[in-house]
Amino acid sequence: MGLQLYLDLLSQPCRAVYIFAKKNGIPFELRTVELLKGQHLNTEFLPANSLQRLPVLKDGDFILSESVAILIYLSVKYQTADHWYPSDLQARMRVHEYLGWHDDRIRSTFGVSLWAQVLAPLIGIQLPEEKLRRNRAAMDRALQHLEDKFLGDKAFLTSQQVTLADIMALEELMQVVALGCDLFEGRPRLAAWCQRVEAFLGADLCQETHSLILSIQELAANKKLPDPPPEMQSSMLLRISRIP
């Protein structure tokens, strides 16, 4: 059996893996796992996934989780163009530097918008305005670091060519934009970077990858999203409680 990717395109890490694999012509079988239905908790649906997280890669008997590890695995195994995950040690470490910072400062901060506008209301919770204000301030600080520390005067985040860092960043930021927040107002360098990454990936692939997140507010407003099962709600409450 060939490569299988277990994904839900509602998830930013899953979208990053999907768009990378598609852009590079990597053959894979898409196994859609609906997070809101709790399918990631189903051991029959996701065998050998003890972490109960997405994305998951299954390549024969080899099982791998965590989006960064999966992206690196795909880059190396399928010998994608060197610019994605550079062979030069220092250039590669710049990518890792960003990915480490991304997990700490971007992933944890920018995911709050989806929770506030879509996920928390599914279980009857409204986030306090004070938390939303703090989150917006944290996003502004992170955007400033993204612009000054990583982008600078380069075309892309770590070099003059697109890397894994750009895909991870794009998917997180575009999720917030899809939810109605203009992150690029007053930030022309970041706006231009975003346009360059999207142009490189191609409009059709971006539309295909982003179609679910672009429609998520409409689906929520029309009550077309599934109600999370009881076994999901305790973990959702825990995640909400950790929002600073």
Q: What is the pLDDT of residues 14-40, one digit of tens each?
A: 999 999 999 999 999 999 999 999 888
HSE-up of residue 59 (Cα within 13 Å, Cβ side) = 12
Q: Are strands 3-7 and 29-32 parallel, antiparallel or unpaired?
A: parallel
> Architecture of 89-241 per CATH?
Up-down Bundle (1.20)
Residue 225 has a pLDDT of 93
Mean pLDDT of the chain: 93
Maximum distance among all Cα pairs of the chain, rounded to whole angstroms: 50
- CATH class, 3-77 region: alpha beta
38-64 burial code (b ≥16 CB/10 A, e <16): bbbbeeeebeebeeebbbbbbbeeebe
Domain with CATH 1.20.1050.10 in the chain: 89-241
Amino acid at 89: L
Residue 222 has a pLDDT of 92
Backbone angles phi, psi at 4, to 5 degrees: -120, 140
Domain with CATH 3.40.30.10 in the chain: 3-77
pLDDT range class, residue 49, cuts 50, 70, 90: low
Residue 52 has a pLDDT of 79
How large is the average pLDDT for residues 59-77? 95
